[in-house]
């Protein structure tokens, strides 16, 4: 058994050795198809709308909420805040605007701003009438005079302020005569008065040692005395310039006419010139001129008549109360000079007693005549900012503001009775002016005539011809011609 086992082992060993010694047979490739399940990742490009939220850090400056833009209150005035010429005739009003416009703008900051547009006094009326009729730009406020009310009424130029004015707290304190000067023929109020402007006579004390005469005959005698001394009794606005302004309420011609009891207006819108009173007045005025008691410069125009009072070669100067603003510098008969070259020269001369105010002369038994007028404000038809205009008027009429207006461009007495009584209006100038008004019959020259410019022109052309150009003409005839020609055009 052991022999067989040994033999088997030997055979296996020999076989193993033979296998090892022979080369290896080529491998057999077996191709087998096997079905398998394969997982494949598929990448697909899809266009999608993607909302991206981006956060940015920025520096932001936050400004304060701006104040509302102020709306303009447009005024047309005869004064120019941009005119700083100290020799300007209207320097008082010009300075008033420079001082007051900033005050108004501060008082109404963010609401109103005052926009003044300079308009010369002798062009204002024609300009605003034309603008209203053409539907063109007009101001919100316009300074005007009482004697212009009828002209504006005729042309439909100014708004009716009656109901609004009556609702204001100042209305009850208004001087009744001032309100009347702003009233049209229909009884309605077309302006708000700011200052009363009566006429007066400025007198050099030393030219009339016995006082300024009270009667027309006495002044003729004084004229002869002064002529012998190389001086003149009177100087006055005697030219036909500025649409016959010499016949207006603040001038000598109306003072003389009214002192003789005469008038221009028939009460029904027509001129009435050929009257005994008017003939007598022009006769007296012609005698004063032809006898040399009035200087030639009175008829030169351009306000040159003032020069004869400035150098005191003329003893008296009948004009509007506000005339003191323009007549400077001054040299008194005694040699004293007032040379501030502004409105204070006349006030200083009055305070010193070298000049005083007097009523106009009148025929024996007559009350002296006096021109009555008022300066004020109207609101033109078509104004864009009526509310602003109302605020403007109310502001100017406050006790804080009205005295400055009256003492400046207003050039007269306050229309508010309470303000009239304040200390500022108790100076020698205002006391004397008040006495003149009390002693005079102050009236408006054109209470019913609506064409004041045409009327003044017709009157002064006739008067100038009679007293200067041809003093041989018959006075009644020439006055009748002027009357007829004017009335035909109405």
Q: Are strands 71-77 and 141-145 parallel, antiparallel or unpaired?
A: parallel
* Per-residue confidence band for 244, with pLDDT thresholds at 50, 70 and 90: very high
pLDDT digits (tens, 9 = 90+) for 388-429: 999 999 999 999 999 999 999 998 999 998 999 999 999 999
User: How confident is the model at residue 55, as a pLDDT?
Assistant: 47
Backbone angles phi, psi at 77, to 5 degrees: -130, 160
Backbone angles phi, psi at 412, to 5 degrees: -165, -145
Torsion angle (degrees, nearest 10) of CA 445, 326, 350, 250? 0
Polymer length of the chain: 490
* Per-residue confidence band for 63, with pLDDT thresholds at 50, 70 and 90: low
pLDDT digits (tens, 9 = 90+) for 154-181: 999 999 999 999 999 999 999 999 999 9
The Cα–Cα gap between 196 and 407 comes to 11
* Pair of tokens at residue 471: 């003093």
Domains plus CATH for the chain? Answer: 71-195+374-432 (3.40.190.10), 199-372+444-488 (3.40.190.10)
Q: What is the pTM for the complete model shown?
A: 0.82
User: How confident is the model at residue 68, as a pLDDT?
Assistant: 73
- pLDDT tops 90 at residue 327: yes
Could you give the C-alpha distances from 79 to 149, 278, 488, in angstroms and in order?
20, 36, 36
User: How confident is the model at residue 64, as a pLDDT?
Assistant: 57
């Amino acid at each position: 058994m052991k022999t067989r086992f040994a033999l088997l082992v030997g055979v296996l060993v020999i076989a193993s050795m033979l296998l090892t010694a022979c080369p290896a047979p080529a491998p057999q490739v077996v191709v087998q198809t096997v079905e398998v399940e394969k997982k494949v990742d598929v990448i697909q490009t899809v266009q999608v709308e993607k909302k991206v939220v981006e956060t940015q850090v920025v520096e932001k400056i936050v400004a304060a909420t701006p104040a509302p833009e102020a709306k303009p209150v447009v005024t047309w005035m005869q004064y120019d805040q941009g005119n700083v010429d100290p020799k300007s005739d209207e320097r008082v009003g010009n300075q008033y605007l420079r001082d007051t416009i900033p005050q108004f703008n501060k008082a109404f900051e963010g609401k109103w701003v005052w926009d003044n547009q300079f308009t010369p006094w002798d062009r204002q009326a024609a300009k605003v009438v034309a603008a209203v009729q053409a539907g063109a730009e007009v101001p919100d406020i316009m300074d005007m005079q009482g004697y212009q009310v009828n002209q504006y009424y005729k042309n439909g130029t100014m708004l009716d302020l009656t109901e609004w004015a009556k609702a204001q707290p100042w209305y009850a304190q208004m001087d009744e005569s001032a309100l009347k000067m702003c009233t049209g023929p229909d009884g309605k109020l077309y302006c708000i008065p700011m200052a009363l402007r009566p006429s007066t006579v400025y007198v050099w004390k030393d030219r009339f040692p016995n006082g300024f005469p009270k009667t027309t005959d006495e002044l003729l005698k004084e004229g002869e005395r002064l002529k012998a001394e190389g001086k003149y009794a009177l100087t006055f606005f005697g030219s036909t310039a500025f649409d016959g302004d010499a016949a207006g309420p603040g001038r000598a011609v109306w003072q003389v006419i009214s002192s003789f009891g005469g008038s221009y207006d028939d009460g029904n819108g027509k001129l009435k010139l050929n009257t005994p009173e008017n003939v007598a007045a022009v006769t007296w005025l012609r005698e004063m001129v032809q006898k040399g008691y009035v200087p030639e410069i009175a008829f030169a125009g351009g306000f040159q008549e003032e020069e004869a009072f400035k150098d005191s070669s003329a003893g008296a100067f009948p004009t509007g109360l506000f005339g003191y603003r323009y007549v400077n510098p001054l040299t008194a008969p005694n040699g004293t000079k007032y040379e501030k070259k502004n409105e204070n020269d006349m006030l200083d001369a009055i305070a010193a007693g070298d000049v005083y105010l007097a009523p106009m002369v009148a025929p024996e038994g007559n009350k002296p005549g006096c021109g009555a007028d008022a300066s004020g404000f109207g609101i033109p038809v078509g104004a864009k900012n009526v509310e602003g205009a109302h605020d403007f008027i109310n502001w100017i009429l406050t006790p804080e503001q009205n005295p400055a207006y009256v003492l400046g461009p207003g050039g007269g007495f306050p229309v508010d009775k309470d303000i009239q009584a304040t200390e500022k209006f108790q100076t020698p100038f205002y006391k004397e002016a008040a006495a003149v008004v009390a002693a005079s019959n102050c009236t408006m020259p054109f209470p019913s005539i609506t064409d004041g410019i045409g009327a003044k022109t017709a009157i002064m052309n006739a008067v100038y011809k009679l007293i200067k150009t041809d003093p041989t003409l018959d006075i009644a005839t020439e006055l009748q011609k002027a009357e007829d020609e004017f009335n035909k055009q109405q």
